[in-house]
Copies of this chain bind each other. A is one copy, B any other.
Amino acid sequence: MVDVTLKDLARELKISTSTVSRALKDAHDISPKTKQQVLELARKWNYQPNPHASSLRRQKSKTIAVIIPEIANNFFSLAINGIQSVAQQKGYHILIYLTHENFEQEKSIIQYLQSGRVDGILMSLSSETRDTAHLSEFKQKGLPIVFFDRVCDNYDTLKVTTDDYFSSFEATEHLIEQGCQKIAYLGLSNNLSIGINRMNGYLDALRKNNLAIKPARIIQGSKDHQKNYALIFELLKSNHRPDGIFAAVEKMAITCYQVFDELQLSIPSEIKLLSFSNLPTAPFLHPSLTTITQPAFAIGKEAASRLLSALQKNNQPLDNETIVLKSTLIKRESTKW
Protein backbone atom coordinates (compact mmCIF):
# COMPACT_ATOMS: atom_id res chain seq x y z
CA MET A 1 0.00 0.00 0.00
CA VAL A 2 1.36 3.32 -1.06
CA ASP A 3 0.80 6.76 0.42
CA VAL A 4 -2.76 7.95 0.49
CA THR A 5 -3.26 11.59 -0.41
CA LEU A 6 -6.12 14.01 -0.21
CA LYS A 7 -6.61 13.55 -3.89
CA ASP A 8 -7.11 9.84 -3.48
CA LEU A 9 -9.78 10.39 -0.90
CA ALA A 10 -11.43 13.05 -3.03
CA ARG A 11 -11.49 10.88 -6.09
CA GLU A 12 -12.96 7.96 -4.21
CA LEU A 13 -15.69 10.09 -2.67
CA LYS A 14 -16.23 12.10 -5.83
CA ILE A 15 -15.77 15.39 -4.07
CA SER A 16 -13.06 18.00 -4.29
CA THR A 17 -9.81 17.93 -2.40
CA SER A 18 -10.61 21.16 -0.68
CA THR A 19 -13.74 19.68 0.77
CA VAL A 20 -11.81 16.72 2.01
CA SER A 21 -9.21 18.98 3.51
CA ARG A 22 -11.81 21.00 5.33
CA ALA A 23 -13.72 17.98 6.47
CA LEU A 24 -10.59 16.58 8.03
CA LYS A 25 -10.00 19.69 10.06
CA ASP A 26 -13.58 19.75 11.10
CA ALA A 27 -14.36 23.08 9.51
CA HIS A 28 -17.77 24.43 10.44
CA ASP A 29 -18.96 24.82 6.90
CA ILE A 30 -19.00 21.18 5.90
CA SER A 31 -22.10 19.09 6.12
CA PRO A 32 -22.04 16.45 8.81
CA LYS A 33 -22.69 13.80 6.25
CA THR A 34 -19.67 14.66 4.13
CA LYS A 35 -17.51 15.00 7.17
CA GLN A 36 -18.47 11.62 8.37
CA GLN A 37 -17.81 9.99 5.01
CA VAL A 38 -14.43 11.59 4.72
CA LEU A 39 -13.40 10.71 8.23
CA GLU A 40 -14.45 7.17 7.71
CA LEU A 41 -12.54 6.68 4.52
CA ALA A 42 -9.53 8.45 5.92
CA ARG A 43 -9.44 6.09 8.83
CA LYS A 44 -10.06 3.10 6.66
CA TRP A 45 -7.23 3.97 4.34
CA ASN A 46 -5.05 5.16 7.18
CA TYR A 47 -4.60 8.54 5.62
CA GLN A 48 -1.72 10.55 7.06
CA PRO A 49 -1.42 14.11 5.83
CA ASN A 50 1.96 14.90 4.41
CA PRO A 51 3.60 17.24 6.89
CA HIS A 52 6.03 18.68 4.39
CA ALA A 53 3.27 19.77 2.07
CA SER A 54 1.39 21.30 4.90
CA SER A 55 4.45 23.00 6.34
CA LEU A 56 5.31 24.40 2.98
CA ARG A 57 1.88 25.76 2.41
CA ARG A 58 1.28 27.12 5.88
CA GLN A 59 4.79 28.28 6.49
CA LYS A 60 4.87 26.60 9.82
CA SER A 61 5.98 23.18 10.74
CA LYS A 62 4.67 22.35 14.18
CA THR A 63 8.26 21.56 14.99
CA ILE A 64 10.67 23.14 17.41
CA ALA A 65 14.40 22.74 17.72
CA VAL A 66 16.11 22.03 21.00
CA ILE A 67 19.72 23.12 20.96
CA ILE A 68 21.81 21.94 23.87
CA PRO A 69 25.50 21.47 24.54
CA GLU A 70 25.24 17.78 25.24
CA ILE A 71 22.71 15.15 25.96
CA ALA A 72 24.54 12.61 28.07
CA ASN A 73 23.87 14.76 31.06
CA ASN A 74 21.01 14.26 33.35
CA PHE A 75 20.05 17.84 33.53
CA PHE A 76 19.51 18.10 29.82
CA SER A 77 17.83 14.80 29.38
CA LEU A 78 15.39 15.61 32.14
CA ALA A 79 14.78 18.97 30.55
CA ILE A 80 14.06 17.32 27.22
CA ASN A 81 11.66 15.11 29.02
CA GLY A 82 9.83 18.17 30.25
CA ILE A 83 9.93 19.75 26.83
CA GLN A 84 8.62 16.63 25.22
CA SER A 85 5.74 16.39 27.64
CA VAL A 86 4.33 19.70 26.57
CA ALA A 87 5.30 19.36 22.92
CA GLN A 88 3.50 16.08 22.68
CA GLN A 89 0.43 17.45 24.29
CA LYS A 90 0.31 20.36 21.90
CA GLY A 91 1.12 18.29 18.85
CA TYR A 92 4.61 19.61 18.26
CA HIS A 93 7.65 17.69 17.11
CA ILE A 94 11.12 18.01 18.51
CA LEU A 95 14.35 18.21 16.59
CA ILE A 96 17.47 17.76 18.67
CA TYR A 97 20.74 19.51 17.97
CA LEU A 98 23.92 19.17 20.01
CA THR A 99 26.64 21.77 20.04
CA HIS A 100 29.14 19.75 22.05
CA GLU A 101 29.99 23.01 23.79
CA ASN A 102 31.34 24.22 20.49
CA PHE A 103 30.69 27.76 19.43
CA GLU A 104 31.15 27.11 15.74
CA GLN A 105 28.65 24.33 15.74
CA GLU A 106 26.22 26.43 17.62
CA LYS A 107 26.58 29.09 14.99
CA SER A 108 26.04 26.80 12.06
CA ILE A 109 23.02 25.14 13.60
CA ILE A 110 21.46 28.50 14.19
CA GLN A 111 22.30 29.61 10.74
CA TYR A 112 20.70 26.54 9.31
CA LEU A 113 17.55 26.98 11.29
CA GLN A 114 16.81 30.21 9.51
CA SER A 115 15.51 27.98 6.77
CA GLY A 116 12.06 27.77 8.22
CA ARG A 117 12.41 24.20 9.29
CA VAL A 118 11.18 25.00 12.77
CA ASP A 119 8.71 27.40 14.29
CA GLY A 120 10.76 28.16 17.36
CA ILE A 121 13.82 27.27 19.35
CA LEU A 122 14.65 26.22 22.86
CA MET A 123 18.25 26.73 23.67
CA SER A 124 20.95 26.38 26.25
CA LEU A 125 24.19 28.07 25.25
CA SER A 126 27.46 26.30 24.76
CA SER A 127 30.04 27.12 27.38
CA GLU A 128 32.37 28.45 24.71
CA THR A 129 29.93 31.06 23.56
CA ARG A 130 31.03 34.59 24.27
CA ASP A 131 29.92 36.51 21.28
CA THR A 132 26.20 36.34 20.72
CA ALA A 133 26.08 38.22 17.45
CA HIS A 134 25.06 35.06 15.64
CA LEU A 135 21.87 35.16 17.60
CA SER A 136 20.88 38.56 16.40
CA GLU A 137 19.83 37.18 13.05
CA PHE A 138 17.04 35.46 14.79
CA LYS A 139 15.53 38.70 15.75
CA GLN A 140 15.32 39.82 12.19
CA LYS A 141 13.66 36.65 11.10
CA GLY A 142 11.35 36.70 14.00
CA LEU A 143 12.05 33.12 14.96
CA PRO A 144 11.01 32.92 18.59
CA ILE A 145 13.59 31.56 20.97
CA VAL A 146 13.47 30.74 24.63
CA PHE A 147 16.65 30.19 26.60
CA PHE A 148 16.84 27.81 29.48
CA ASP A 149 19.50 27.20 32.10
CA ARG A 150 22.43 28.62 30.21
CA VAL A 151 20.72 31.77 29.13
CA CYS A 152 21.85 34.64 27.01
CA ASP A 153 21.69 37.90 28.90
CA ASN A 154 21.89 40.40 26.15
CA TYR A 155 19.12 39.04 24.03
CA ASP A 156 15.62 40.23 24.68
CA THR A 157 13.46 37.21 25.09
CA LEU A 158 12.11 34.81 27.65
CA LYS A 159 14.61 32.95 29.81
CA VAL A 160 14.11 30.17 32.28
CA THR A 161 16.77 29.56 34.89
CA THR A 162 17.34 28.48 38.42
CA ASP A 163 18.39 30.57 41.37
CA ASP A 164 22.04 29.93 40.71
CA TYR A 165 23.50 32.62 42.87
CA PHE A 166 21.39 31.79 45.85
CA SER A 167 21.79 28.04 45.74
CA SER A 168 25.54 28.35 45.31
CA PHE A 169 25.69 30.67 48.25
CA GLU A 170 23.63 28.32 50.32
CA ALA A 171 25.67 25.34 49.24
CA THR A 172 28.93 26.98 50.14
CA GLU A 173 27.58 28.04 53.50
CA HIS A 174 26.48 24.50 54.10
CA LEU A 175 30.03 23.31 53.58
CA ILE A 176 31.21 25.97 55.97
CA GLU A 177 28.72 24.84 58.55
CA GLN A 178 30.09 21.36 58.12
CA GLY A 179 33.41 22.70 59.22
CA CYS A 180 35.11 23.30 55.91
CA GLN A 181 37.53 26.21 55.85
CA LYS A 182 39.32 25.72 52.60
CA ILE A 183 36.68 25.32 49.97
CA ALA A 184 37.54 24.86 46.35
CA TYR A 185 35.32 25.83 43.44
CA LEU A 186 34.96 23.77 40.27
CA GLY A 187 33.22 25.44 37.35
CA LEU A 188 33.18 25.47 33.58
CA SER A 189 35.01 28.27 31.87
CA ASN A 190 32.77 31.18 32.29
CA ASN A 191 31.55 33.64 29.87
CA LEU A 192 28.03 32.65 30.70
CA SER A 193 26.00 34.39 33.33
CA ILE A 194 25.11 31.10 34.88
CA GLY A 195 28.75 30.50 35.74
CA ILE A 196 29.24 34.00 36.99
CA ASN A 197 26.23 33.73 39.25
CA ARG A 198 27.34 30.45 40.74
CA MET A 199 30.82 31.69 41.27
CA ASN A 200 29.55 34.84 42.95
CA GLY A 201 27.38 32.80 45.27
CA TYR A 202 30.46 30.88 46.29
CA LEU A 203 32.62 33.97 46.66
CA ASP A 204 30.05 35.86 48.68
CA ALA A 205 29.58 32.96 51.04
CA LEU A 206 33.31 32.89 51.68
CA ARG A 207 33.36 36.64 52.20
CA LYS A 208 30.44 36.63 54.52
CA ASN A 209 32.16 34.03 56.65
CA ASN A 210 35.54 35.73 56.51
CA LEU A 211 37.23 32.93 54.70
CA ALA A 212 40.11 33.65 52.40
CA ILE A 213 39.54 33.47 48.68
CA LYS A 214 42.40 31.61 47.07
CA PRO A 215 42.56 31.74 43.28
CA ALA A 216 44.44 28.48 43.39
CA ARG A 217 41.33 26.82 44.70
CA ILE A 218 39.19 28.08 41.88
CA ILE A 219 39.23 25.81 38.89
CA GLN A 220 37.58 26.69 35.62
CA GLY A 221 37.34 23.53 33.60
CA SER A 222 36.68 23.14 29.92
CA LYS A 223 35.27 20.46 27.71
CA ASP A 224 38.64 18.75 27.81
CA HIS A 225 38.16 16.02 30.34
CA GLN A 226 41.82 15.12 30.60
CA LYS A 227 42.75 18.65 31.42
CA ASN A 228 40.03 18.94 34.03
CA TYR A 229 41.21 15.74 35.61
CA ALA A 230 44.76 17.02 35.74
CA LEU A 231 43.71 20.34 37.23
CA ILE A 232 41.79 18.70 40.02
CA PHE A 233 44.51 16.18 40.59
CA GLU A 234 47.05 18.95 40.92
CA LEU A 235 44.88 20.86 43.32
CA LEU A 236 44.50 17.88 45.60
CA LYS A 237 48.22 17.23 45.62
CA SER A 238 49.14 20.86 46.12
CA ASN A 239 49.43 22.67 49.38
CA HIS A 240 46.15 24.37 48.58
CA ARG A 241 44.43 21.08 49.12
CA PRO A 242 40.85 21.88 50.08
CA ASP A 243 38.82 20.35 52.84
CA GLY A 244 35.65 20.95 50.90
CA ILE A 245 34.77 21.24 47.26
CA PHE A 246 31.87 22.97 45.67
CA ALA A 247 31.32 21.70 42.15
CA ALA A 248 29.13 24.11 40.24
CA VAL A 249 28.80 21.67 37.36
CA GLU A 250 27.94 18.01 37.50
CA LYS A 251 30.58 17.08 34.99
CA MET A 252 33.28 18.52 37.16
CA ALA A 253 31.93 16.67 40.17
CA ILE A 254 32.16 13.42 38.27
CA THR A 255 35.71 14.13 37.27
CA CYS A 256 36.35 14.92 40.87
CA TYR A 257 35.04 11.53 41.95
CA GLN A 258 37.42 9.93 39.54
CA VAL A 259 40.32 11.74 41.06
CA PHE A 260 39.20 10.73 44.53
CA ASP A 261 39.02 7.19 43.33
CA GLU A 262 42.50 7.36 41.92
CA LEU A 263 43.85 8.83 45.11
CA GLN A 264 41.80 6.46 47.20
CA LEU A 265 40.42 9.26 49.25
CA SER A 266 37.59 8.60 51.56
CA ILE A 267 34.52 10.73 51.21
CA PRO A 268 33.29 12.61 53.08
CA SER A 269 35.72 12.19 55.89
CA GLU A 270 38.67 13.70 54.09
CA ILE A 271 37.09 16.12 51.71
CA LYS A 272 33.48 17.12 51.57
CA LEU A 273 32.09 17.38 48.10
CA LEU A 274 28.96 19.31 47.35
CA SER A 275 27.80 19.50 43.83
CA PHE A 276 25.18 20.59 41.38
CA SER A 277 23.92 17.29 40.12
CA ASN A 278 20.87 15.76 38.61
CA LEU A 279 22.08 12.20 38.64
CA PRO A 280 19.27 9.99 39.84
CA THR A 281 21.61 8.50 42.37
CA ALA A 282 23.12 11.75 43.47
CA PRO A 283 21.11 12.28 46.61
CA PHE A 284 21.69 8.88 48.11
CA LEU A 285 24.21 6.85 46.20
CA HIS A 286 27.08 8.38 47.97
CA PRO A 287 25.90 8.85 51.46
CA SER A 288 26.52 12.11 53.13
CA LEU A 289 26.98 13.80 49.84
CA THR A 290 25.02 16.96 49.67
CA THR A 291 23.65 17.93 46.33
CA ILE A 292 21.94 20.79 44.60
CA THR A 293 19.30 19.39 42.37
CA GLN A 294 17.79 21.56 39.70
CA PRO A 295 14.16 21.17 38.71
CA ALA A 296 15.24 20.11 35.25
CA PHE A 297 11.95 18.66 34.16
CA ALA A 298 10.07 21.75 35.28
CA ILE A 299 12.52 24.01 33.51
CA GLY A 300 12.02 22.17 30.26
CA LYS A 301 8.31 22.21 30.73
CA GLU A 302 8.15 25.88 31.53
CA ALA A 303 10.39 26.89 28.65
CA ALA A 304 8.48 24.76 26.18
CA SER A 305 5.07 25.81 27.33
CA ARG A 306 5.96 29.47 27.08
CA LEU A 307 7.38 29.02 23.63
CA LEU A 308 4.51 26.96 22.33
CA SER A 309 1.90 29.26 23.78
CA ALA A 310 3.47 32.16 21.97
CA LEU A 311 3.56 30.17 18.76
CA GLN A 312 -0.03 29.23 19.07
CA LYS A 313 -1.04 32.80 19.69
CA ASN A 314 0.03 33.65 16.21
CA ASN A 315 3.66 34.19 17.08
CA GLN A 316 2.98 36.57 19.86
CA PRO A 317 6.34 38.04 20.87
CA LEU A 318 7.94 36.69 24.02
CA ASP A 319 8.42 38.93 26.99
CA ASN A 320 11.94 39.85 27.94
CA GLU A 321 11.61 38.24 31.30
CA THR A 322 13.53 35.73 33.34
CA ILE A 323 11.65 33.02 35.10
CA VAL A 324 13.57 31.67 38.03
CA LEU A 325 12.81 28.23 39.39
CA LYS A 326 14.21 27.06 42.67
CA SER A 327 16.80 24.37 43.06
CA THR A 328 16.80 22.21 46.13
CA LEU A 329 19.72 21.58 48.38
CA ILE A 330 19.51 18.01 49.49
CA LYS A 331 21.44 17.90 52.69
CA ARG A 332 23.04 14.73 53.86
CA GLU A 333 25.10 15.34 56.89
CA SER A 334 25.69 11.92 58.24
CA THR A 335 26.93 8.74 56.74
CA LYS A 336 24.18 6.27 57.07
CA TRP A 337 25.83 3.35 55.42
Contacts and interface: CB of A to CB of B under 8 A. Distances in A.
**How many monomers of this chain does the complex have?**
2
A50 B46 contact: no
Interface in A47-83: 48-53, 55-56, 61, 63, 70-74, 76-78, 80-81
B280 A254 contact: yes
A50 B81 contact: no
Nearest to A2: B141
A116 interface: yes
Contact of A115 (B49, B56, B117): B49
Contacts of A285: 257, 281, 285-286
A115 B63 CA distance: 15
A116 B4 CA distance: 11
A11 interface: no
A98 interface: yes
A96 interface: yes
Contacts of A52: 52-53, 55-56, 61, 116-117
Interface string A299-310: 000000000000
Interface string A98-120: 10000000000001101111000
A254 B81 CA distance: 19
Contact of A84 (B71, B78, B93): B71
Given A74-B72, A264-B337, A286-B286, A114 B81 contact: no
A15 interface: no
B114 A48 contact: yes
A245 to B, nearest CB: 15
A30 interface: no
A62 to B, nearest CB: 10
A258 interface: yes
Contacts of A51: 115-117
A1 interface: yes
Contacts of A287: 261
A102 to B, nearest CB: 11
A60 B265 CA distance: 55
A279 interface: yes
A3 interface: yes
Contacts of A1: 140-141
A57 to B, nearest CB: 9
A218 interface: no
Interface in A132-165: 137, 140-141
Contact of A72 (B78, B88, B93, B115): B78
A140 B137 CA distance: 43
Interface of A: 1-3, 46, 48-53, 55-56, 61, 63, 70-74, 76-78, 80-81, 84, 88, 93-96, 98, 111-112, 114-117, 137, 140-141, 254, 257-258, 260-261, 264-267, 279-281, 284-287, 336-337
Given A48-B112, A49-B115, A93-B117, 9 more contacts: A2-B141, A46-B137, A50-B115, A52-B56, A80-B96, A88-B98, A94-B96, A95-B96, A281-B281
